[in-house]
Amino acid sequence: MTQSQPILVFDLDDTLFNELDYARSGLQTVAGKIADEVGVKENELTEIFFNALAESRSNIFNRVFDEIGVDNNALIKKCIAMYRTHKPSIELYPEASKCLQRFASWRKFIVTDGNSTAQNSKIVALNLRDNVEHAYITYRYGHKYTKPSPHCFNLIAKRTKQQPQNIIYIGDNPTKDFVGIRPLGFGTIRVLTGQHKDINLTPKHAADVSIPDLSHLTADFIAEYQKNRA
């Protein structure tokens, strides 16, 4: 079966860059803006934030404020807003940058979950607008269309006039990246990078194949992958 050049769709967080770098960037920005207000030196507050991040991603501002003895719900909301709107200091994984260059002539897209403002700021900071045809931020379509919903992948199929079998999603998170689209025939490749690299769930959550990082995603690899799927 002859197929046209496949469409590549990339996840963003922990696939193209280390999402923890975004979290650290945001927390450092917040620390610099509120240190005087909470009476803690900026470098000390940054360290407290980073220690809290190492423990858990959830409710960081609430937990840190409890730790330093600050009771201010309005400031917590302000911190969340500052975090989501900050200009992040982040970079693509080196292998991701080379991968995008390697496939410069191919049609490429992004599908990513997350707060629309924050996700867009990541895309801008990483200069991805110049590297992909379009970035689909699922939250812009409503939370019911976040992964594992196939909604944005179906939009790509319609836009490119391609069948799911000729569209390949490269992601890292088995909890949601593949389970909704693999049964529909979309190609799925898992990259073992980021905070989800050691997670293994049921077979239905798995991708068709896994690779250690994006340096392994080459035209020859994809050709062989598509041949095996045909």
Counting residues of the chain whose pLDDT is more than 90, the rounded percentage is 97
Average pLDDT over residues 160-168: 97
Q: In what order do the strands lie in the sheet with 167-171?
A: 134-137, 108-112, 7-10, 167-171, 187-191, 209-211
What local confidence, expressed as pLDDT, does residue 3 receive?
57
CATH of domain 7-18+90-229: 3.40.50.1000
CA 94, 98, 99: angle at the middle one, nearest 5?
A: 110
Cα separation, 3 vs 7, in Å, equals 11
Tokens 């979950």 locate to: 113
User: If we measure between CA atoms, which residue out of 12, 23, 34, 28 comes closest to residue 137?
Assistant: 12
Cα separation, 216 vs 104, in Å, equals 16
pLDDT tens-digit readout, 5-38: 999 999 999 999 999 999 999 999 999 999 999 9
Contact 25, 125 (CB under 8 A): no
Of the pLDDT bands very low, low, confident and very high (cuts 50, 70, 90), residue 230 is confident
Contact 11, 180 (CB under 8 A): no
Cα separation, 26 vs 67, in Å, equals 19
Q: Tokens in use for 171?
A: 């992601």
Cα separation, 24 vs 41, in Å, equals 17
Cα separation, 180 vs 136, in Å, equals 16
H/E run at residue 85: helix 73-85
pLDDT tens-digit readout, 125-137: 999 999 999 999 9
Question: What global pTM score does this model have?
Answer: 0.94
